[in-house]
Structure 1
């Protein structure tokens, strides 16, 4: 898969990279922890420009975050609470989880979005409580863009610096992609088992 991603980025250019970053945020098939360093590799080889990688990656991911913000806005806490009560097992959440998340977000606000955008896992889902709380769009976009930019910049520079170790990194990164995908599925199944009595 490593070679396939590199080939796709090389053929599709910035558009492919931005699109994959959007998809990664909406439904993470290929984690940004894998995708962005590969774009950094290509920047070190001269295929991409490092600054453009950071900008395009940040924009793609931010647009994906807006999608989840819109979902949170449309669903709202009341409707999500009803969904959690009715389908809590499959959503791996309870109405109490919804209340706790909403209360936590109202306490942390813009800082929650900014910090979460730099953390693997919460990066995408933080947009949902932001939307549910009807956080104003400008602060949301500002926190999302800045937090995402720092994260993407760090990963891109990492890939750029490690370009000389391309073959060695590829040897470990290729199986790591499948491990991360399996870990995500495993976590969901574990949550599903933990919530057996909340359907």
Structure 2
């Protein structure tokens, strides 16, 4: 993947950085922690224009986030809520969805803004925002601000570290794995709790 990222950046320049960051938002395993410091280093040595790299990366972030926001909006809260009432739907209960919607209504702005600065979460936070139908202008503005800060920090680190720019990805890699592990644990907990509740319901109704 690293060689592919290098080839895109070197071939397409700032638009290539924007394209890769767009993909990173839609397909989280593509690491912005590698793309952005590389772009900063390339800007330092003069092969990229710094004043085009940051806007291109931020535009890619916003466009990628809007794709996942649209997925959430098209699914719709009512449809997912109805699905969560089915016995075979094991990812969450209707009560979980109600709590999630309440949380987004109360603190959705903070969640979207801060979530843009957390690996993996920066991508998937767009879907619940779409489900909750957060106003599009607000979602776009918060995404642009949060992503702009994230992009500026990592491009700046690549510029500052120079030939050692790849140390950024090495330092952030463990943090990304921790976040991924926490997400997987959370999903597993929801599934187990949902299965236990369903089995308890079935057992109760089968009792004589």
Q: Give the TM bin, normalised by the shorter chain.
A: 0.7 to 0.9
* Aligned equivalents of 1:134, 1:68: Cα separation in 2: 12
Query: Structure 2: which 5+ residue stretches go unaligned?
Result: 196-208
Structure 1 residue 160 displacement after superposition: 0.7
More helix by share: 1
Give secondary structure in 1 for the equivalent of 2:152. helix
TM alignment of 1:1-199, pairs within 5 A: 1-84=1-84, 88-89=89-90, 92-166=91-165, 169=167, 173=170, 184=180, 194=189, 195-196=191-192, 198=194
CA contact (8 A) 2:93 2:194 kept: yes
Query: Structure 1: which 5+ residue stretches go unaligned?
Result: none
Give secondary structure in 1 for the equivalent of 2:13. helix
Structure 1 residue 14 displacement after superposition: 2.0
* Aligned equivalents of 2:132, 2:92: Cα separation in 1: 18
Q: Which has the higher contact order (CA 8 A, sep 6+)?
A: 1
* Aligned equivalents of 1:105, 1:197: Cα separation in 2: 22
* Aligned equivalents of 1:27, 1:17: Cα separation in 2: 15
Deviations 1:33-72 (A, max 9, x none): 2211111111111111223211100100110000111111
* Aligned equivalents of 1:198, 1:81: Cα separation in 2: 14
Q: RMSD value over aligned CA atoms?
A: 3.0
Q: 1:153 to 1:189 in 2, by over 3 A?
A: closer
Deviations 1:73-111 (A, max 9, x none): 11122222344455645xx54444322221111001323
CA contact (8 A) 1:85 1:198 kept: no
Deviations 1:153-175 (A, max 9, x none): 00100111011425x739x74xx
Q: 1:58 to 1:198 in 2, by over 3 A?
A: same
* Aligned equivalents of 2:100, 2:25: Cα separation in 1: 20
Q: Which has the larger radius of gyration?
A: 2
* Aligned equivalents of 2:162, 2:69: Cα separation in 1: 35
Aligned twin of 2:201: none
* Aligned equivalents of 1:164, 1:134: Cα separation in 2: 44
